[in-house]
Amino acid sequence: AALAEALLEARRTTLRATDLVVQREEMLAARERQDRIFRQAERIAAIGSWWLPVPGDMPHWSDNVFRIHGLPVGEHPDVQTAMRFYPPESRRRLSIALTQAIEQQQPFDLECDFVTVDGAIRRVRSMGEPEIVDGRVVGVLGVFSDITDQHILESRLRHSADTDALTGLANRAAFDRRLEEAMASARRSGEPLLLALIDLDGFKAINDTLGHDAGDDVLRMTGLALRQPWLRDCLAARIGGDEFALIITDPALIAAADHVRDRIEDLLHLSVTVDGVTMTSGGSIGIAAFDDTCHSLRDFARRADTMLYAAKRARVGQRRATPTRRAA
């Protein structure tokens, strides 16, 4: 009886062991399937995961992190080597974020420029948060994704939303936003700031006489004139039908404001010819300096407007004082 009972118990133990083996194999198969699905999802979404032990400088990367870097899956690089894939400014921002995650237990979410092994410039998003055990940071874990296509699309949409389609200059909404920013910066730093308003003289006559296509040509040529290399540090905008503006922050240009005005007036002396008829347009320019009495964008624009109308009156007086010539 004892022998039979022992044999039965041994049989039951064998069956339990067999069940455990089967369960373990099923768990391993499920885990392998989950890992495979996770790796496929990473590839499809261009996302990788990483973990950095603390203390330690050897991050652990998922396979797709290697792929985004353009590296074969293999030995994990140290932090210093991994940082070399970022341009200096992006590297600085990411270093600060990692330090704050470890020392201040702060999560981070950064978009940075990134250069692959092959030298391709990409845009990546790196998110991370501290892993805390018993109140102490034992690691930083996160995800790493290639968002280059999304970044390009968003940049194009922003550019389209902020750009005048005809001239390629900033539109009124972008101009107002940038002028507010420039005024706030000037208040903080005390740096000089100029606003130039430009009104095209003779544009309506060209539109009425030669047609809207000729008028559009004048507007396009004006846009090209205000994008000259020497004005690259200025924001040029089309703020109305034939009204343009420049935000001038370059100290060298501000110091030579009269010369800048004269040079822009020369650039805006434009001619168009249709069916043998040639008409010429010009531009009146009013330049105002920002100071503490400009409490709002409207105050600053009103000051530049006053200078613009003074310039227009002076141009009318000049035309009356000179022999009549065929010009619009």
Among all residues, which ones are annotated catalytic? 242
The residues, ordered by sequence, that sit 6+ positions from 145 with a Cβ below 8 Å of its Cβ are 45, 46, 47, 48, 68, 124, 125, 126
Q: What is the DSSP letter of 76?
A: P
Q: Which two tokens stand for residue 74?
A: 């293999």
Angle between helices 148-162 and 172-189 (to 10 degrees): 100
Rg for the chain, CA atoms, rounded = 33
- Residue 125's alpha-carbon distances to 46, 53, 60, 328, in angstroms, are 11, 20, 17, 54
Question: What is the distance between the alpha carbons of residues 167 and 237, in angstroms, rounded to a whole number?
Answer: 9
d(CA 328, CA 310): 20
